[in-house]
Amino acid sequence: MKLTLEKPVYGGDCLAHAGGAQAGKTVFVPLVLPGETVTAHLTEEKRSFAKAEVDEILLASPHRVAHRCPYFGACGGCHYQHADYATQLGMKQQILRETLARAGVAVPAEIGVLAGKPWDYRNRIRVAFAPEGEFGYRGRRSHSIAPIDECPIAAPMLLQVAKQIAKFIAESSGIAAISELELFTDRDETQILLTLFCEQPSADGAQVWFAALQAALPPQVTGLRL
């Protein structure tokens, strides 16, 4: 089908309305920008809406840019790298306005923008571990793991620590299989809270395992929880 994207919606998609036999049906499309015209195929269809994936961009937005991350699109870690930074901020403002309006909350005339730099700004990441020892973000629209070696939008220290932990977990027998970890840093990247996720941790050897893990971590990790 041929679609013209109308506006961004929460979650990274843009909204369009189908024509032809499905005239008026709402279609959600990822990795596109408002104003673009694309051809797309349906991947999921419900009574009142559908989801689609782009086949070809017929008319690109002037705000479209080349994404910097080699994993963008397959990885579900972020949604907007195909837009220049000013457009990203504008879309987030627009989404917030609509969210407030739909919730019946009075929308202020102006919404201030608190923005950081375009890259290395994310202070929290959550990555998953594959049985083979790889780690990465969850895939886009999937629970699969998209292995990563870099993340241009994350604070550099977070990925460095994630790699150290992944190496430790791969080389040691832990108290249980670690499925995911979350890293949260302060503004200066001097303190990091590490949260490990696992199922049914065993108390046997837990103290020894945690001590070994702490010894392997950089000094920036000042908080650790399971």
Write the pLDDT tens digit of every residue in 108-118.
999 888 888 89
Same domain, 196 and 129: yes
Host H or E run for residue 216: helix 206-216
Residue 33 predicted with pLDDT over 90: yes
| 23 — pLDDT class (breaks 50, 70, 90) | confident
DSSP letter string, 120-161: S-B-EEEEEE-TTS-EEEEBTTSSSEEE-S--TTB-HHHHHH
Average pLDDT, stretch 5-23?
91
* The pLDDT of residue 74: 93
Q: Is 170 domain-assigned?
A: yes
Residue 142 predicted with pLDDT over 90: no
CA 90 and chain centroid, separation = 18
* The pLDDT of residue 35: 98
Same domain, 75 and 145: no
In whole angstroms, give the CA distance from residue 195 to residue 25: 42
* The pLDDT of residue 103: 95
* The pLDDT of residue 34: 98
Closest among 26, 25, 19, 28 to 1, alpha carbons compared: 19
Same domain, 90 and 139: no
Same domain, 87 and 160: no
Same domain, 150 and 199: yes
* The pLDDT of residue 97: 95
Q: Is 118 domain-assigned?
A: no
Q: Is 119 domain-assigned?
A: no
| 216 — pLDDT class (breaks 50, 70, 90) | confident
CA 76 and chain centroid, separation = 5
Residue 174 predicted with pLDDT over 80: no
Distances (CA, A) of 4 to 28, 35, 39, 91, 225: 11, 6, 9, 17, 47
CATH code assigned at 129: 2.40.50.1070
When comparing pLDDT for 197 and 32, which is higher? 32
Q: Is 207 domain-assigned?
A: yes
**Domain span at residue 10?**
2-102
Q: Is 95 domain-assigned?
A: yes
Average pLDDT, stretch 66-93?
95
Q: Name the β-bridge partners of 29.
A: 14
Number of domains in the chain: 2
* The pLDDT of residue 203: 65
Mean pLDDT score across all residues of the chain: 90
